Structure 1
Amino acid sequence: MEDILRPIYQERASQTNTLGVLIIEKREKSIPFTDTFDAILLIVVKDAEQPIFIKHYSYQNKKAAMHIVTKEQLNEWLQIGSNRKIVEWLYSGRILFDRNEFLHNLRAELNEFPFNGRKLKMGLEFAKLIRRYMDGKSFFKNNQYLDAYNHIVHSLHHLGRLALIENGFHPEVTVWKQVKQIEPEIFLLYNELVTSDEELGKRLELLFLASDFLIHSRTEMGISHLIEILKTKEYWSINEIALHPELKLYSVDLEVLFEYLVEKHFIEIVTMETKGQGIFHRNYKAADRFIIKE
């Protein structure tokens, strides 16, 4: 396979803009590591007009895909976890070209996964968890059990990913296999939800009770990145928060997360008068009692 694809990647490797080339070959049919392709060529470049460029190829009744991504795009994926296959590709791919050991050094960084690098990823995962959990709870209260079920399944998935990151692991495509080994309590909760013969409403009721405890026990760790930033100023408007270079990565989950943290007394409201009588600006600050865990 590599021999057939060699002319394609050698042309790219000869360019000074190319930092590294990996080949990821299809392994298990049941696990979609390569998006059904027999091989993926992942080519990382310094910069390009498009952050992502993809081509598909056919050969010997097989198919391959070439993904050319910029270093900046790759770092964004790794930072915010929006492309879950990329970690798998970087770990399991075979290095075909590596300028100045770029890929080897990147793998070393992934293996180390320092705590400071984990804080942002935990924050983003916690925000997604709260969004799904709160939406699920709202549907449950309105007896919309199927919609509640959908959201609580996703919230457990985010809880599992959060637990893995907290323990220093990058969540993989087969996340529940990881969670079962590292956080069996969360796995059992998920398994109970999807396999129990109990009536759905009862299952959800018990699950929300158990989830309340698991979420509460991880809140301080999950929001440590957010609180560290909030503590750099006396108070913040919601617009200042939304425009912050790191906090804006929380995207649509930000406001729901803040309301949850206000309710749980991790964040306090600071009101300021406006020109209108009886209406106030609503600003936010980290609660004084909150202690950042190192």
Structure 2
Amino acid sequence: MDDLLRQLYQDRTNDEDTLGIIIMEKRKLLDANTDYFDVVLLVILGENKTGWEIKHYEYSEFKVAMHLVSAEQLNEWLLNSSNRRIVDWIMNGKVIFDRNEYMKEFRQVMKEFPNKERRIKIGVEFSKLIRRFTDGKSLYYEGHYLDSYNQIVHALHHLARLSIIEHGFYPEVMVWQQVKKIEPEIHKLYSELVTGTELIEKKLELLLIAIEFELMAKTKLGSAHILELMKKQEKAWTIQELKEQMLIHDYSLDLSILMEYLVHKGYVDVVKQETKGGAIYHRLYVLTER
């Protein structure tokens, strides 16, 4: 079978755009981490390549998936936590080709988890946490308990990932196994939500209080990136100017509610700027003087 795999990736090693190739084999009979394929080949391409391409192969009931991923796309996944299988593939897969030790250095950077990248990821998770929590809270008070439950489950996932990143790790597929070791009190909140015997209304009521407390405790950490960004200029920011500074699309999606939260908590002040209409004002944002 090694000869078959070599046929699939051999040409890629001769391509100067190929930076590294990783092989990830399934670890159990049905392994969702490899999409139930026997082997995943991850081919990482240079910055001048874009996007993500998938190829599927089969030989005598042996299934292989090849993922051709640009370095840009790979970094976007890691920043967004939008493809957590990739962390497992990169850190635990077998490197079978490494141009100029690219993969060795990439893995080392992931292990060190640079502070700048960590702050961005924390900001992403914090903004998503606020979105899910506020949506869940609103639905709860409207009496839509099942919909609220769904949002609160997602909020807890973002809280868990934020905590994992805070401690210097990348969130993986089994995020609750990670967070149980790092912050067991957050794991307990999730466990109470999904396994508790109380009525759903009571569980949500208690969790809304608990999550709000966690939000307050992590506001300084979660908003560090956006507040640092706002220091780049002394004048007030428009929401569009802030949006254009966001490096990640998923981050900018929840920017408005993040800013409203920071205004409410006293980290950011609103500055009104007159429009041609006179009675209508532009709403700008500036750091609160502390």
TM-score by length of 2: 0.96
Distance 1:85 1:225, change over 3 A: same
Amino acid at match of 1:98: D
Distance 1:46 1:127 in 2: 31
Kept in 2, the 8 Å contact 1:226–1:247? The answer is no
Show the counterpart of 1:12. Answer: 12
Amino acid at match of 1:223: S
Show the counterpart of 2:156. Answer: 156
Show the counterpart of 1:292. Answer: none
Amino acid at match of 1:136: G
Identity of aligned residues (%): 48
Which stretch shows the higher mean deviation, 230-239 or 247-256? 247-256
Superposition CA RMSD, Å: 1.5
1:246 aligned onto 2:244 = no
Kept in 1, the 8 Å contact 2:50–2:73? The answer is no
Amino acid at match of 1:274: T
1:65 aligned onto 2:50 = no
Which stretch shows the higher mean deviation, 241-250 or 191-200? 241-250
Show the counterpart of 1:115. Answer: 115
Q: Deviation at 1:98?
A: 0.4
Distance 1:30 1:287, change over 3 A: farther
Distance 1:47 1:274, change over 3 A: closer
Kept in 2, the 8 Å contact 1:79–1:121? The answer is yes
Q: Secondary structure at the match of 1:6?
A: helix
Distance 1:249 1:198, change over 3 A: closer
Question: Can you give the 5+ residue segments of structure 2 that lack an aligned partner in the other structure?
Answer: none
CA deviation digits over 1:162-211, x for unaligned, max 9? 00000101100000000111110000000001101101001000000111
Q: Secondary structure at the match of 1:28?
A: coil
Q: Secondary structure at the match of 1:132?
A: helix
Distance 1:104 1:265 in 2: 44
CA deviation digits over 1:108-157, x for unaligned, max 9? 00000122220000000101100000000000010100000000000000
Distance 1:175 1:30 in 2: 20
Residues 1-294 of structure 1 aligned to structure 2 (within 5 Å): 1-29=1-29, 32-47=32-47, 50-233=50-233, 234-246=235-247, 249-289=250-290
Q: Secondary structure at the match of 2:177?
A: helix
Question: Can you give the 5+ residue segments of structure 1 that lack an aligned partner in the other structure?
Answer: 290-294
CA deviation digits over 1:10-31, x for unaligned, max 9? 1111112211110001113565
Amino acid at match of 2:108: A
Distance 2:81 2:249 in 1: 15
TM-score by length of 1: 0.94
Kept in 1, the 8 Å contact 2:50–2:72? The answer is no
Distance 1:196 1:65 in 2: 40
Q: Deviation at 1:247?
A: 6.6
Q: Secondary structure at the match of 2:34?
A: coil
Distance 1:19 1:255 in 2: 38
Q: Secondary structure at the match of 2:254?
A: helix
Which stretch shows the higher mean deviation, 144-153 or 237-246? 237-246
Amino acid at match of 1:241: L
Q: Secondary structure at the match of 1:120?
A: helix
Distance 2:53 2:126 in 1: 31
Q: Deviation at 1:288?
A: 1.7
Kept in 1, the 8 Å contact 2:246–2:252? The answer is no
Kept in 1, the 8 Å contact 2:236–2:285? The answer is yes
Kept in 2, the 8 Å contact 1:241–1:248? The answer is no
